[in-house]
Amino acid sequence: MNTLYSTLLLVFLMMTSYFGVYCQNEGNVAKLPVLMSIPPVATLSLAGDSLNFSIKGKGTSQVITPNFAGTTWLNYTSVVEENSTNLISANLTTVDLPAEVIIKLKVGMATGAGYGQKGVSVGTITLSNYPQTIITNIGTCFTGQGANMGHQLNFQWVLHPNYDEDLLKEYNLKDLKVGVTYTISRND
Amino acid sequence: MNRLKCLITFFLLIFMHGITFGVITRSYAYTIRIKNIKLIRVVGPSTINLVINTSIAGSSIMSATFARDSSSYLQMTSIVPENVQRRIIVTAKDGAIPTGMKLELSAGECFTGLGDLGNVKISPVPLEVNIGKDLITGIGSCYTGTSGYRLTYSFGPDPNYVGTIMFNTQNYVSIVYTLTE
């Protein structure tokens, strides 16, 4: 019998804890608190016609070659804190790039659909193993998904002005594959 | 002895006359008063938690991130004077709705109870701080029973102000329901 009473009490407590009248009720007035939360958002991805490799998330990578002629588009969604912005940086993830070879990355201005405070391109940078900012001042926004949305990325492979031709012959430039990683982060 | 019989017969006749014809009519006036009743309450969790979320890069903040909650119910009992209809007004108070965001409320049809349960607004009601808005109108004498109107809260970006949305971990507002004429 005690077990029965305990079970009934437990069921009652469970019911009241989930579905009891918790709001403030006073005659013809009832009140209920609502908590609204907006988490920070910072996601980016790549879109284009000849991507070798792409991972969605805060860090996104692709593999490019000297013959890479496709066009890449950088898509992102961002929700920032007040008085704060996000930025996107890029860096090479392959360390065996010949010193005679320079890869330039040209970042276009945001185009296509989307809404909000989209970022500003820094223009053209020379990629290195260290992250460099390519897009700044990203507020709360989204660029839209897919090609022709967001920022267009163009790569240019050039030889160093004072390159050593003999050293360069040691490399098979056609077989070069270089990884590029993009990261969206808070601009502290 | 004859005199005694006559006396008994006389009294019997008087007594029977009284039974047969002595109907006494009394009138009592009763005043039945039905109280003017207006009671409402909301049952459900102690706090409604609404968190927007998006994880697809480039996707619209507007479409993918509306947070919804339908776990609370509005119950009421109402007895109205003749030719009077009531309504339930909903007001956001004691807080603020985050910039660039919309907080909307809708009430589903009430399938329990009896009486003149009124008409719920077909479109979700956009809530504004300190501005009362009709949620249910045309309420007469009724009761909702133990279920009531299912309330659905919807929290998401306002398409016209997406760029102004800011990361915000906590933002409270009280939703006040008032049953009134």
| Tens digit of each residue's pLDDT (9 = 90 or more) over B36-61 | 888 899 998 889 999 887 666 666 66
**Chains A, B: CB contacts under 8 A, how many?**
189
* Shortest distance, CA B39 to any CA of chain A (angstroms): 5
Distance CA B150, CA A49 (A): 48
Q: What is the ipTM of this complex?
A: 0.77
Block residue for tokens 């008994």 = B8
Q: What's the pLDDT score for residue A56? A: 44
Q: What is the distance in angstroms between the Cα of A170 and the nearest Cα belonging to chain B?
A: 41
**Residue A43: its chain B contacts at CB < 8 A?**
54-58
- The b-or-e profile of A77-90 (16+ CB within 10 A means b, else e) is bbbbeeeebbbbbb
Sign of the torsion angle spanned by Cα atoms A112, A117, A122, A127: negative
Q: pTM of the full predicted structure?
A: 0.67
pLDDT interval class at A10 (50, 70, 90): very low
Q: Does B160 touch chain A (CB under 8 A)?
A: no
Chain A interface disruption, residue of B36, B46, B59, B150, most A CBs within 10 A? B59
CB contact under 8 A, B40 and A28: yes
Q: Average pLDDT in the B11-27 region?
A: 68
Using a CB-CB cut-off of 8 Å, the residues of chain A touching B67 are 36
* Residue numbers of B between 76 and 105 with CB closer than 8 Å to A: 97-98, 100-101, 103
pLDDT digits (tens, 9 = 90+) for A148-158: 889 999 888 88
Contact A34 B153 (CB under 8 A): yes
- Percent of chain B surpassing pLDDT 70: 86
Nearest to B112 by CA among B148, B76, B71: B148
- A-chain residues within 8 Å CB-CB of B101? 36, 38
The pLDDT score that the predictor gives to residue A25 is: 64
Tokens found for residue B121? 């607004």
CA distance B137 to chain A (A): 15
